Structure 1
Amino acid sequence: MFRGRDVLTLMEFRPDEVVALLEMAKGFKARYHAGEVYTPIHLGKTAVLIFEKPSTRTRVSTSAAAYQLGMNVIVANPQELQLGRGETVPDTARTLSRYAHVIAARVFKHETLEELAQYADVPVLNLLSDKFHPLQSLADALTLWEKKGRLNGLKVAFVGDVGNNVAASLAVIGSKLGWEVRLVGPRQLWRNDLSRLAEDAGLTGARVYQTDSLEELKGVDAVYTDVWVSMGFEKEAEERERLLRPYQVNASVMELAGPQALFMHCLPAHRGMEVTDDVIDGPRSVVWDQAENRLHTAKAVLAAVTP
């Protein structure tokens, strides 16, 4: 069903396939907590992980997931590869395909992943690009499933930089699972690509829309935020902070959302900026569950797509 497939956005997968990945992740997590950590489905196979950007959760969770599946893990940045000396992405993809069974990369430009996938003969996984963060959205969905007891019919508000990669992937997975995704942020950062979700939304009953009003937080199952200045946008920091200051998630915002609302963040968090300490450390925060679930969802993806 999944063998040999790339995971670049999750738009490549049908709604039922996304559910199947989440069910697999849930099973891996149950066995993990029962003491069955090592499940050598891909014993002796090799995963190459390339990181153009710094990483904590993605690097460690994906490496650990591959190891737990019995795989050899090679982690490198472009400067440790000939990519850093001018070798082309196609040549790198062709070469690594002869050594590895799966290539995963965290990149500045999504086009780099698309080029890797075009020329590689093995699956290519998106570990984060400027446009999408699909493995994060799988962990988010697993977390909400655990906390809310259901996968469909959820209402999730993403607050702040609604144009970023995490918001994009939340909208994608929400359209696959029949959620109402409210993208709450300043109009200057609104997306112009939501029409691509229409087909899935038509199948699942999902609704994804943008608003600049915090009043739209009322009644949601979760309030999600992310850093105001993502990697690669440092030159815009001052302007972004000015635009987004009214969208800080604090106690008043969580009160507006209601007592049923969980707090979510993909981490790392800039405390005092997009979220206050009392919220991220509060009883409704599920950020550490999200972080753990990066391991189990990465394990499901690697188990499913590795040939």
Structure 2
Amino acid sequence: MFSLRKSFLHTLRAFHVKSFSGSAAAQNAVCLKDRNFLTLKDFNSDEIKHILWVSADLKKRIKHEGQFLPLLQGRSIAMIFEKRSTRTRMSTETGFSLLGGHPCFLTPQDIHLGVNESTTDTARVLAGFADIVLARVYSHSTLEELANQASVPIINGLSDLYHPIQILADLLTLQEHYGSLSGLTVTWIGDGNNVLHSLMMSLAKLNVNLRVATPKGYEPDSRVLAEAQRLSKEHGTELFLTSDPMAAARGANVLVTDTWVSMGQEEEKKQRLQDFHGYQITMETGSVASPDWTFLHCLPRKAEEVDDEVFYSPRSLVFPEAENRKWTIMGLMVSLLTNYTPKSRPLKI
């Protein structure tokens, strides 16, 4: 009888894993507590899926079911902002508060990172005050120094090299819209910047193809590209690079762009606008994409990057994408600070 029961339970467990997703068991086994989150390069497919699962679960339980989940009660987060941001600040502050914690916002006027006090000393001081630190900085090396010196998790709120928390929101938005990420083709049209770099460090791990169009001279970082090529080969996905936006858009499910002139590049604006001529996303761009194509932009948006017809169309997912910045940063913070296990089924990514 015991042997029969054991066999039945084994069969039931195998059915459970197969029914939800190929890596459901692995997602259940993932533990990210006390990890730093500087780049998606450091996270494998099951770890990325786990963060998305936690995020979707929190959104379902809190937004749609009205549950109160003080998972971070008694915790605090220090938020360092060398660069301003509507979405990063609002999503982190409101999200951490909603989970019962206390956010503390630090501007360049509040904290002179590496000026009046060394980054090393700041990291050690903040680790004594806060349970976790989110830093939105100019140089990625600042994040690496914070992570090396702090005894609490460090989250990359944006750096010159990567913007991983934006990609979590993008992935959750596409998961909600398409029901699955596997097999999608994402096309990036624009600058070879930090957002693109983070897409390159994550999409292949989720069986998503990536097509990239950048003007000559604006290609992604060569080291990031080399790693993306390795990941694409390892996971059997497409990585296509061109300077022709229409060639990149052909057959794509998702068209993505970002600002052509980032903070700190204002003096280059005139030249950049000339160099990016022809890169605006329009319905003509979408005419060669897949019939189900959608549009993403991390915001704020300028008209030269995408016209109003696309930006405000039913194909545009930019506002759900912006809202998901909140749910994904919440999912990430909960994953880095607790051993929370979602109550809902793993996503069929």
Common topology (TM > 0.5): yes
Give the match for residue 187 of structure 1.
216
Give the match for residue 294 of structure 1.
325
Alignment of 1:1-307 (within 5 A): 1-36=31-66, 38-83=68-113, 85-161=115-191, 163-191=192-220, 192-193=222-223, 194-213=225-244, 214-271=246-303, 273-306=304-337
What is the distance in 2 between the residues matched to 1:302 and 1:197? 26
Secondary structure of 1:188's aligned partner: coil
Secondary structure of 2:122's aligned partner: helix
Q: 1:281 to 1:88 in 2, by over 3 A?
A: same
Secondary structure of 2:104's aligned partner: strand
Secondary structure of 1:53's aligned partner: coil
Residue 24 of structure 1 and its aligned partner are, at CA, apart by: 1.0
What is the distance in 2 between the residues matched to 1:220 and 1:5? 34
What is the distance in 2 between the residues matched to 1:159 and 1:123? 33
Number of matched pairs: 305
Residue 291 of structure 1 and its aligned partner are, at CA, apart by: 0.4
Letter in 2 for 1:127: G
Letter in 2 for 1:104: L
- Maintained 8 Å contact 2:74/2:101: yes
Secondary structure of 1:67's aligned partner: helix
Secondary structure of 1:127's aligned partner: strand
Flag the structure with larger Rg. Answer: 2
Letter in 2 for 1:131: L
- Maintained 8 Å contact 1:79/1:85: no
Residue 202 of structure 1 and its aligned partner are, at CA, apart by: 4.1
What is the distance in 1 between the residues matched to 2:127 and 2:228? 32
Could you tell which deviates more after superposition, 147-156 or 32-41? 32-41
Letter in 2 for 1:93: A
- Maintained 8 Å contact 1:28/1:296: yes
Could you tell which deviates more after superposition, 98-107 or 84-93? 84-93
Gapped runs of 5+ residues in structure 2?
1-30, 339-349
Length-normalised TM-score, structure 1: 0.95
Give deviations 1:265-302, integer Å, cap 9, x for gaps. 0000012x101111100110000010011011000100
Length-normalised TM-score, structure 2: 0.84
What is the distance in 2 between the residues matched to 1:232 and 1:278? 29
Say what the alpha-carbon RMSD is for the aligned residues.
1.5
Q: 1:40 to 1:200 in 2, by over 3 A?
A: farther
What is the distance in 1 between the residues matched to 2:62 and 2:277? 40
What is the distance in 2 between the residues matched to 1:86 and 1:276? 44
Gapped runs of 5+ residues in structure 1?
none
Residue 240 of structure 1 and its aligned partner are, at CA, apart by: 1.0
- Maintained 8 Å contact 2:240/2:248: no
- Maintained 8 Å contact 2:62/2:69: no
What is the distance in 2 between the residues matched to 1:262 and 1:134? 21
Secondary structure of 2:133's aligned partner: strand
Give deviations 1:179-221, integer Å, cap 9, x for gaps. 1111112121112231113454344323323111222311111
Residue 10 of structure 1 and its aligned partner are, at CA, apart by: 1.1
Secondary structure of 1:63's aligned partner: helix
Runs of 4+ displaced beyond 6 Å:
none
Give deviations 1:75-107, integer Å, cap 9, x for gaps. 011321253752010000000001110000111
